[in-house]
Amino acid sequence: MEQVTDHTLAAARKVIAVHINYPSRAAQRGRTPEQPSYFLKPPSSLTFGSAEAPSAVERPSGCELLGFEGEVALIIGKPARRVGVEDAWSHVEWVTASNDLGVYDLRYADKGSNLRSKGGDGFTPIGPELIPADAVDPAGLRIRTWHNGDLVQDDTTADLLFPFARLVADLSQLSTLEEGDIILTGTPAGASVAKPGDVVEVEVSTVEASASTSLSTGRLVTRVEEGTTAFADFGAQPKADDGQREEAYGSRAAAGLAPVEAAAVGHVLTPELKAKLESVCTATLSSQLRKRGLNNVSIDGLTSTRPEKRIVGLARTLRYVPNREDLFKSHGGGFNAQKQAIDSVNEGEILVMEARGEKGTGTIGDILALRAQVRGAAAIITDGGVRDFAAVAAMDMPTYYANPHPAVLGRRHIPWDTDITIACGGTTVQPGDIIVADADGILVIPPALADELADESIIQEREETFIAEMVAQGHSVDGLYPLNATWRMKYEAWEAGKAQ
């Protein structure tokens, strides 16, 4: 075992970081990449620290969101150029702990390169000890992070999306990895925000049953200080909004933010009204809508993963447009409209997707459906296909879909915009509409009609309960269904008797 020194930092010509690599982080972010993606951090961001001599990092003046991310760092020992996965690990000499620090206030400034948000001086502490790579199983490491003494990250490298050897081999295909280069291998869920005065500690160790045989880097300790030098007025200025706060802290709740309010029209769905609508069938609601002249208010042609469930919720909307390759480049990648919709759906809301009835690709898969379920969505409705169908169907949250299909979204669709008026399953849906669905189908209820519709539906179902009893007793439906004057008098007497 050796310690990280100034020589270690000076030897690093490149610092390469992986965006998402832990399943727990992918689930938190609501997206699972098919291939690893990377960004560069300047070697000037490197520093080292230990319990005896903590590193210090400034939260830049005017910034609010200094994020920390505990990671396993790999240090290359011999050059790697176009190496295979089977040989890649032999090019790694050391394993150590790292903290991939960055300010979310500047994420907007460099369109994904992360140069300003992640490249500040001291934003990549590593150390304190170096574990020989040939002494460990790369799938048998543990990463832990403490924030002010509280354990906030604890994961292993057993089920990474992209094992370490694959990262080394992949990077070496186009760029020579040189001796001393450092690869930051991704962070698990639990990364959050540190403020001036906070202490963040990161440790990498081997997963061993016995503490006596475990190898460890020791704790990499970083103290956060408040920067005092303001940004010059000729460059990008720090900007923080609730979206960035939610990303930085990992959730709205962790960021101390109230749940996003539904559209003003949606406030009509009180708990009392919701309970009324849950008590009646869509068949009854449909007949009451027809009485009011509304015949085209059903989302047709879909199947439910949970047909036994009756759901009521407010509509949130997402529209896909037909794929056009040049437009997919600008709208299909990154935190696109689909991911924004999934990541902003709130407790009890229903995400309705316009996919034009296109069945030749998926519009939702297991990770994004899981993200919607974790956020409390009541359901997902799409008139397109569903990927990872077995996993989606196993979820408690219902998904209404046209058919299963294995293809990715980009085969036929571009996620285009959210919370607008859309068409789904042959009807129009607006944000804030009330969706009611059961085994008979899916209805879209204008909020302004919901109260009287619920009350009249309850009355209708009471009448139909009486009618069913009379039919069961052998009466003809002539004059009974619907009730004529004679039968209505009998119904009112029956109803009065029930009330006593």
CATH (domain of 421): 3.50.30.40
pLDDT at 278: 94
pLDDT at 28: 78
Q: Do 34 and 199 meet the contact criterion of CB atoms below 8 Å apart?
A: no
Same domain, residue pair 159 and 232: yes
What span, in angstroms and rounded, lies between the C-alpha atoms of 407 and 424?
A: 20
10 Å Cβ neighbour count for 390?
8
Number of alpha carbons in the 13 Å side-chain half-sphere of residue 247: 18
Q: Is residue 175 part of a domain?
A: yes
What span, in angstroms and rounded, lies between the C-alpha atoms of 29 and 91?
A: 31
Domain that holds residue 351: 264-450
All residues at 6 or more sequence positions from 167 whose CB lies less than 8 Å from its CB, including other chains = 18, 21, 36, 74, 88, 183, 185
**Domain boundary residue among 450, 467, 489?**
450
Q: Is residue 489 part of a domain?
A: yes
Q: Shortest CA distance to 454 belongs to which of 311, 314, 282?
A: 282
Q: Shortest CA distance to 157 belongs to which of 165, 149, 168?
A: 165
* Strand intervals (E) in 1-91: 2-3, 15-18, 38-41, 46-48, 55-59, 66-68, 70-76
Same domain, residue pair 24 and 107: yes
Q: How many domains does the chain have?
A: 3
Distances (CA, A) of 413 to 35, 227, 385, 410: 20, 45, 11, 5
All residues at 6 or more sequence positions from 461 whose CB lies less than 8 Å from its CB, including other chains = 280, 281, 284
**Domain boundary residue among 249, 275, 294?**
249
In which element (H, E) is residue 5 found? Answer: none
All residues at 6 or more sequence positions from 447 whose CB lies less than 8 Å from its CB, including other chains = 265, 266, 268, 269, 432, 433, 434
Q: Shortest CA distance to 21 belongs to which of 172, 155, 187?
A: 187
Query: Tokens 């509509």 correspond to what residue?
Result: 315
Q: Is residue 304 part of a domain?
A: yes
Q: Is residue 256 part of a domain?
A: no
Q: Shortest CA distance to 160 belongs to which of 137, 136, 185, 177?
A: 185
Query: Tokens 């906030």 correspond to what residue?
Result: 152
Same domain, residue pair 14 and 99: yes
Edge-first strand order for the sheet with 66-68 is 102-103, 66-68, 192-194
**CB-based burial, 38-55: b 16+ in 10 Å, e otherwise:** ebebbbebbbbbbeeebb
Question: 99 φ, ψ to 5°?
Answer: -130, 110
pLDDT at 197: 96
Same domain, residue pair 375 and 423: yes
Q: How many helices (H) and strands (E) does the chain have?
A: 14, 31
CATH of the domain at 53: 3.90.850.10
Same domain, residue pair 151 and 8: yes
The two three-digit tokens of residue 427, written as one number: 């009807």
The two three-digit tokens of residue 192, written as one number: 């959050």
Beta bridge partners of 74: 95, 183
Question: 84 φ, ψ to 5°?
Answer: -90, 165
Q: Alpha helix locations (H) across 292-365? A: 325-331, 337-344
Q: Is residue 258 part of a domain?
A: no
Same domain, residue pair 207 and 336: no
Same domain, residue pair 110 and 66: yes
Kindly give the confidence (pLDDT) of every residue in the chain, 500 residues in length, as a single tens digit, with 9 standing for 90 and above. Answer: 789 889 999 999 999 999 999 999 988 777 788 899 999 999 999 999 888 899 999 999 999 999 999 999 999 999 999 999 999 999 999 999 999 999 999 998 887 789 999 999 999 999 999 999 999 999 999 999 999 999 999 999 999 999 999 999 999 999 999 999 999 999 999 999 999 999 999 999 998 755 667 899 999 999 999 999 999 988 889 988 887 888 899 887 788 876 654 434 445 688 899 999 999 999 999 999 999 999 999 999 999 999 999 999 999 999 999 999 988 888 888 889 999 999 989 999 999 999 999 999 999 999 999 999 999 999 999 999 999 999 999 999 999 999 999 999 999 999 999 999 999 999 999 999 999 999 999 999 999 899 999 999 999 999 999 999 999 999 999 999 989 999 999 998 998 887 66
Q: Is residue 54 part of a domain?
A: yes
Beta bridge partners of 448: none
**Domain boundary residue among 225, 249, 273?**
249
Beta bridge partners of 96: 73
pTM for the predicted model, two decimal places:
0.57
Same domain, residue pair 413 and 456: no
SS3 call for 117 = helix
Same domain, residue pair 209 and 170: yes
The two three-digit tokens of residue 184, written as one number: 């930051």
SS3 call for 426 = coil
Same domain, residue pair 406 and 425: yes
Find out whether the peptide bond into 36 is cis, omega within 30 degrees of 0: no
Same domain, residue pair 437 and 466: no
Q: Is residue 257 part of a domain?
A: no
SS3 call for 465 = helix
What span, in angstroms and rounded, lies between the C-alpha atoms of 140 and 142?
A: 7
Question: Which 8-state DSSP code applies to residue 235?
Answer: S
Rounded to 10 degrees, what is the CA torsion of 15, 208, 129, 124? Answer: 30
The two three-digit tokens of residue 307, written as one number: 């047909």
pLDDT at 265: 41
Q: Is residue 146 part of a domain?
A: yes
Same domain, residue pair 56 and 203: yes
Q: Do 28 and 192 meet the contact criterion of CB atoms below 8 Å apart?
A: no
The two three-digit tokens of residue 315, written as one number: 């509509």
